[in-house]
Structures are given as structure tokens and as C-alpha cells.
Structure 1
Amino acid sequence: MKSIYLQEESSADAAVRPSIGEQRRAVTAGMVGYVLEWFDFGVYGFLATIIAKNFFPSHDELTSLLASFGVFGVGFVARPLGSVIFGRIADKFGRHTTLATTMILMAVSSTAIGLLPTYESLGIAAPILLILARLAQGFSAGGEWGTAATFLVEWGGSKRRGFFGAFQQSSIACGLLLGSGAVAVLSSMLSPEALTSWGWRLPFLVGALLGPVGWYVRRRVQESPVFVHSEEHVQTSRTQFLKAIFHGFSFLIFWSVSSYMVAVFMPSFAITYGHISRPVALWSGTASLALVVVAAPLAGALSDRIGRKPLLVFSCVFFVFLSYPLYRFIVSGLSDAEYIAVQLLMNLIFVLYSGAGPASLAELFPTRLRSTGVSVGAGLAGIFGGFSPFLTTWAVSISGSGATAGWLLTASALFTLPALLAMQDRARHGHI
């Protein structure tokens, strides 16, 4: 795909190079919201079976699980709206103010989930309130994802956009890691009855503590130099902009689906269909996410040196051919050690894509349209990722084979591959 850059103010090239201290503060501010967002989203996925029992009681365990994963996906329905509103605000008035706002909204909605009465106490109103809280989460996440990714990439300057942008994925993995670790600790310390009764609430209530801290950090950080020195009115046609959004959407389909299937959904899948014990599945997920936290910036830095495309295409092709065999292996009755090895491998290959992804996506758009473009593409693609646990569970229930889950991941990779092949690699371009 050809770049839609028609005009960028030349003064952007002359922007003062930020100090290392300024870059560190910017990375911290960009990461803190992601950590909270994905901690909450991850906790919901890791506790899906318990949430199903509390809010969707049924004699059929599969029906309850489907309902719980359906509400998980509902959070992504509001993402496109949040992406349009917050993305436009970020492009018009700046990134850091927008990020402070999404931080508070995410914290409030997450805390609300932790305080909700269950179906037993409130009846049908309980799942309705859960859905509303998830919609609020999704609305804030719609603006958070693209704006924070844009913010981090722009602070990377001309030569380290991949490295800085990859801290987006590192912080996502950190949030999921904390969520997985929290649930693993609770599962180890509490009886199944206590975890189901009240223990599941504790991780969600962490939002009440992290929200104000994140807001404070983000309010104090400076705007990115790239945004400050950019031209406010960029001459880009609507057709070109829409094409770039569709390209970003296609680019994100595999990324979004694989994020949930490889990281968030995998412990629940392994417990339900692979007959892996809950503690082993959760601790394996925790180890895999720790790998992503460390490896994502390394992958981003590598993409700065050799280009984005080699990493993106390799990761995508890997999952085209090996998703089904790996899922079939997981449900075949493998040992705990074999399961851990498979999950580590899948996360390692996935991180090649997610490490190079933020910079690649941001480089599709000019500065004053970047947050909107990235956010809208992510918001639309996120719907597919958010509903992937539901679709996977439904497909497995129809086919009777847990290995069917692999075909969904394969399909997402096949959808994205043409977008990667058509993408212009801008890793060596001096500025964006």
C-alpha cells in the first residue's frame, strides 16, 4: 500500500530531540494505562468460568461459559465509538489529555465490575449491569489503544519507533501477566468455593487504586515532539484515509484474534479442553506473558534494524500453517511440561508480530490523523478479537473437537497476510 502522506510540515524534521528522561517519562505514561486496561480484560478472561457461574447460572456449563464469553466480547462493541471520539480529540488537542481521561473511565468501570451483585442477589439485573460495565470499559479502551500506541511510537523519534512502540505490547503483556498472576495466586490460596463466592472480585477492585495513580502520571507528561511540530491541516483525501484505515483493520485482525487466543483465552481453553489443571494453566500463562514483556521491545528494536515486514510475515505464516496442529496437540492429552512448551512457543512467535506491530500501524498515517486512524482500525478489529473466545467455544461445541479452535486462528492469519504483503515498510524513513 502506498503511503497517504501528502504533506508534513518540514519543521517536524527540526524538532528538538527529547532527552532520555523525557522519553522515559513518556514510556511510563503510555504504559500505565495499558497495564490497567489489560489487567482488567485479562482477569475477566482468566475468571470466565467463575463469572459464568455467578452471573449466568445454568444447568448446562457450556451455556454459562458461552454467555460469559459473549459479555467479554460485548466490551469490544463499544470500542469503535470510543476510538472515533477519543482518537479525534487526541489528533485535535493532544495525546496526553486524552490518555488521562481514558485512564479514569477504565478504572471506574473496572471497579464497578468488582462491586456488582451476582445473579443470585439481583436476578436478571446483575448480568445487565455487567454488560453496561463492559461497554464502558470498551468505550474507554477504544480511545486508549490507538492513542497510547501513537504516543509511544511518536516519542521514538526517527530511528527507534519500533523499540518505543513495542512497549505497548510489553505493557499489555504486563497487564495480562499481573492478571494471570493474581488469579493464579488466588486459585492457589483460596478454596474453589471461596474463589467463586468472593475471591474473584479482588482483582477488579485493584482498579480503584491504580486509576488515580495512572491519571496523575499521564497528566504530568509532555506532549510528543512529533505532534507539537506537525502541521494541523494535512492534505489527505478521504478516500486515501479510508483505504489506510481498512489496511490497518486488515493488519489488526490476526493481531487481535491471536492476542486473545494465545494469551487471554489459552488458560481457560487448556483447562476445559486440554484437561490441564487450573494452577498449571494459569502459571504457564504467567510464564508466557513474562516472556512477551521482555521479548516485545527486543522484537521492536529488531524491526528498526531489519524492517517490520520480515517479522510480521514470518509470524503470520507460522500461524497459517501450525495453528491447527498446535491446538490439536493441546487437546490430545499432553503432559504439563509439553503444554508449557507449546504455549511458550506460540507466545514467542506471536511477539514477533506484536513487537513490530505498533510502529508499522502508526506509520500508515500522518501525524494529525494518526490517533484517529490507528484507533478506528483497532476498534473495528478488536470486535473480532473480543468475540474470538465466544466463537471458539461455539465452534468447538458444534464440532465436538477442541482442535477446531486452531482453524479460527488460521483464518485470521489468512485474512491479514495480503495486507502485510501489500504494506510499505517505513522502518527506515527518517520521520513519520
Structure 2
Amino acid sequence: MTRPVRVGLLGCGVVGSQVVRLMAEQADDLAQRVGAPLELAAVAVRRPGRHTDVPAELLTTDADALVTRDDIDVVVEVVGGIEPVRSLLLAALSGGKSVVSANKALLADDGAMLHDAAAKAGVDLYYEAAVAGAIPLLRPLRESLAGDRITRVMGIVNGTTNFILSRMDATGAGFDEALAEATALGYAEADPTADVDGYDAAAKAAILAGLAFHTRVTMSDVYREGIGEVSAADIASAKAMDCTVKLLAICERVVDDAGREQVSVRAHPAMIPRDHPLAGVGDAYNAVFVEAEAAGSLMFYGRGAGGAPTASAVLGDLVAVARNRVSGSRGAGESAYADLPVQPMGDTVTRYHVALDVADQSGVLAGVANAFADEGVSIKTVRQEGRGDAATLVLVTHAATDAALARTVDKLAGMALVGRAASVMRVEGQIVE
């Protein structure tokens, strides 16, 4: 074996501590897989006294010094956030160190900058753990499917929101009650904004779209909608349609009216039929479908978060980049040659489920149908639930542009015979009436 590959670790929290543990417990096996020992050289933390499971001589509070040390070959980052991490990783890359990161927010915002720095220095930038935890997903997109043409990536990429929606579906609980349960069980952070408002899923969608469609996609390109407005009534309405509600990240290769290819990237709650494979993905699990022209439909499923599962993905990347260091090679870098434009959400073709509280009298259905027709939106199915003051019209549309559907809903809200839109949600998959 050659000299050890020395590793500097930024952060030693839930994930970082598991990286330290796995590196120690599997040291012999990792050395055989890499072709050289993996040696933990330093761990940068804020409060060294809290990390009694790490040898004291490895701990440091000087992250800037760690990333510029000449004796460190690979920097592993599990801190999260944008700054100072961005500056630290840029310094590591420019200094000739390969980088392994689990930081989806940074990669979604500044992935292009980091890739450029890695390419200039001739080193690796790997980030399997940034999306879907332990599930091997990014490397298959970047490498295994490099010879295919991917047309769509869709899935559940946030375990916290999936747990909340699964509990709402199973128990009939409201959003606040399900969120409280998720927090008590440790699935939700004390501040769950990134999860429940869809920021986490949107960041992951940007990363997935960039890899799948060879196009630089940033967080600002992604249409985002969280689950905070999903109510128990929405869940009940979905059940009546034999559907369930999931927060989905959806990345599609589309063609505009002029025949030009574009990329559609969005993260929002949607109804899907109960017989859809994603409908059965419960609790904090993740699952992602990839559709490619030659390979067909592929599904990736597993734990999308947690210390040990995420550390597994980090170690997989660490082994890969360490092998490259030993062999003097470099792995696959960024592929953004396609440079496809991102389609505005208003132009995205989708379908809606709309439940309207209406007056139970003649002419209501005709007025509602006219509102849809005025915007060029075709109604697929319609039914009435209840009578008198409790009457509700439930409609599912055919595919139309999101802008046309939004205008239709706004128009319905202004009609005298429509009390309110009790439920408005996008629909994915085929609902059979």
C-alpha cells in the first residue's frame, strides 16, 4: 500500500460523528478498497469539549487552517449552510484537495462555482449525500446513465415532510398536529422551515435536474411550494379520489411551442393515486423515479436522512475520491454542455384537483364550466358531494398550463355562487374515476 490518504473533516454533529465512527470501525476494509489507509488528520468543530468520542489531538476550532494544511488530501464537509462553508471549500479546492460534501443548499446555489474550482485544480467534488441520504442516486445519474437520455426525475426527497403527510393520511390529523409529532420523534428540526416550506426539496431538485439534463440549475430556478397549507380537508379530499398527498420534486425535459427543449423543475405537494409506487412510501423514507429512453423506469428507495445512512453516502464518496488520489486520476466532473433554458412555472403543463364549496342550485355547474372554458382548461371529471349548504363540486382537469389553471381558480373565487375553493392541488399520475 502507498502512503495514507489523509482526511480533514469539517463538522462533527449527527453525520460527522458517524463518519468518524465508520472510518475507525471499518479502517481495514476501507484501506483495502482504496488501496491505501484512510487516516483522519483533523476535525474542525466549534466546541471541542463536546466531542469526547474524537481523539483530542485531532480536534481544532480553526477550520481555515484545516482546509489549507499541506498534509491533508481530502476535505469532507458535513456542516451545512452557505458561509463560511463556501469560502472554506473553495480554499480547499484551490489548494488541490478533493472535496466530499453533504451540503445541498450550497450545491444548489453555488455548485457551478465549486465545480469550476475543482476543474481548475484537477481534483474531485463529490456530493452523493446531498440528496436522498443513503440512496445511491447522484452517481447513477452522473455515471451509470451517462450513455442514456434521461427524460424525467420525480420523487420524494424530504423525509420530514413525507412523515408529516403520511401521518396526516393515516390518522386524519391536521398539519400542526402531525408536525408536532414529527418534532417529538426527532424527524423535524426545532425550526422546520427548510423542510415544510419546500426549500430542502427545491435544493435537491436543482441538483437532480442539473445532473439529469446536463444543465446548470440553481435554487432560484426551481418553483417551490411547501406543505404548510395542506389541510386535513385536502387529505380527506384526496382519499375520496383514492389518492394520497406527497411533496414531490419533479424534473422534466420538455419541449416548448416552438419545438425547443427546456427543463421544468419544481417542488410542491401533489395528489397521486394510491396505486402509484410513490404512494406507498411512508414515514421518513425517500423514493425517486428516473425515466430514461433506453433504461426505461428506474426506482431508487431507502432512508433519506439520519446520521448513519447519510454517513454511508459520505464514506462512499470518500472511498471514490481517495481511490482517485491513489491512482492519480480524477472522477467525472460537471457536465453542463446542454445549457437548456428553465421553463417558467406558468408554462409548465400540469393538472389540478379543485374542490369548490358552492350553492346547491341550478346554473352553478354551468357557470363553473364556463370559467374553465374561458381559460382553455378542459375538465376531465366532475362530481357533487353533499347537498344544500354543504354542497361541494369536485373537479379534476385535463393537462393545461399552470398559468391557465391558476387564472381559472382566481376566476372561480370571484363567482357569487362559489363560496370558496376548499382544496386546490396539482395532480400527478393517472386518476381513474
Give TM-score scaled by structure 2 length. Answer: 0.28
Structure number with the higher helix fraction is: 1
Higher Cα Rg: structure 1 or 2? 2
RCO comparison, higher one (Cα < 8 Å, 6+): 1
